[in-house]
Amino acid sequence: MDCIEGAKKHIPDNFVDLIITDPPYGISGDKLHKHYNRNEKHVLEGYIEVPAKEYAAFSKKWIKQAQRILRPGGSIYIVSGYTNLIHILNALAENNLREVNHLVWKYNFGVYTRNKYISSHYHILYYVKPGAKPTFNTFCRFGAKEKWEDGGSSNYKDREDVWIINREYKPGKIKNKNQLPSELLMKLIQYSSNEKDLVCDLFLGSFSTAKVALGLNRRAIGFEKSRIAYDFGMREIEKIKPGYLLEKLRKPEISSLPNQRKR
C-alpha cells in the first residue's frame, strides 16, 4: 500500500529506530532503461513513478510521516538523484530532523548523455531526530588500529563521505527497476543501528533494505505500492535466514568492505 496512508494506519509515533529509503525520483522511471542502455527483459513490471509536478507535495507528506514514526535519536537516510533533491531538502527543513551528513555515492555506470556531463552519483541525506543520543557505531566495521595496505586508517577511509560502491549486476535474474547494492545498505545499517532494532523502508521496491536488515539480525518493516513488486519481494523475504550476513562477516576471509584488503 501507499506509505503515507500505510504509516498513518500501521506505525505508531516514535516507533522506528532507523529509516533507509529510496523514493521514486520523479524522472520517468518507467523509461530508465533508455538512459542506462539495458535490457528490461528481467526487470519487474509495475514501477510506480511520481509526476514531477506533484513531487514537492509528495515529499512533504512522506517525510512528515517519516519524522513522526522515527524515535528520538533515530536516523534516516534518503537516497536521491539531483533532479528533485531540492524538494526533499525543503521537506526535511520543515520537519524536526537535524542534518548530520550529506553523503555522495559514486557508482560504476552513469546516465548516458551527449550534451552535458554524465551523472554517475546519488546523494544520501543523513538526518537524525533530536531528543536522544543517535546510534552511531564508529568501530563496527574496522577497529581504530586497522590499516590498509597503503598504511592509512581503514576506519577513516570507510567513514569518508564519498562512497565508491558498484551497482550489483544480476544477469538473467528477476530484479526491480532500481536497486541499492547490498554493500551500501550494510554500511548504513551497521553504523546506525544495533541488532534487533527496527529498520523501515517506506518504498520497499526490491526489498533490498529489508533483506539486508534481516540478514544483519535487525527487524524490518515497510511499504510497497506495486502489487507485482510486493508479491515478488515477500517471496524473497521468506528465503532469508535472520543473521546470515553476520555469520559471513565473522568468517576471517570475509572483509566488510569489498575491493580493499586489510593488514
Per residue in 29-83, pLDDT (tens digit) is: 445 444 444 455 545 565 677 888 999 999 999 999 999 999 999 999 999 999 9
- pLDDT tens digits, residue range 158-170? 999 999 999 866 5
Residue 140: inside a domain, yes or no? yes
Residue 263: inside a domain, yes or no? no
CB neighbourhood size of 220 (10 A)? 21
Residue 8: inside a domain, yes or no? yes
pTM greater than 0.85: yes
Q: For the chain, which residues score pLDDT lower than 50?
A: 29-30, 32-38, 42, 175, 252-263
CATH number at residue 174: 3.40.50.150
Residue 129: inside a domain, yes or no? yes
Question: Domains in the chain: how many in total?
Answer: 1
What is the average pLDDT value for the chain, to the nearest integer? Answer: 87
Report the C-alpha gap between 223 and 187 in whole angstroms. Answer: 22
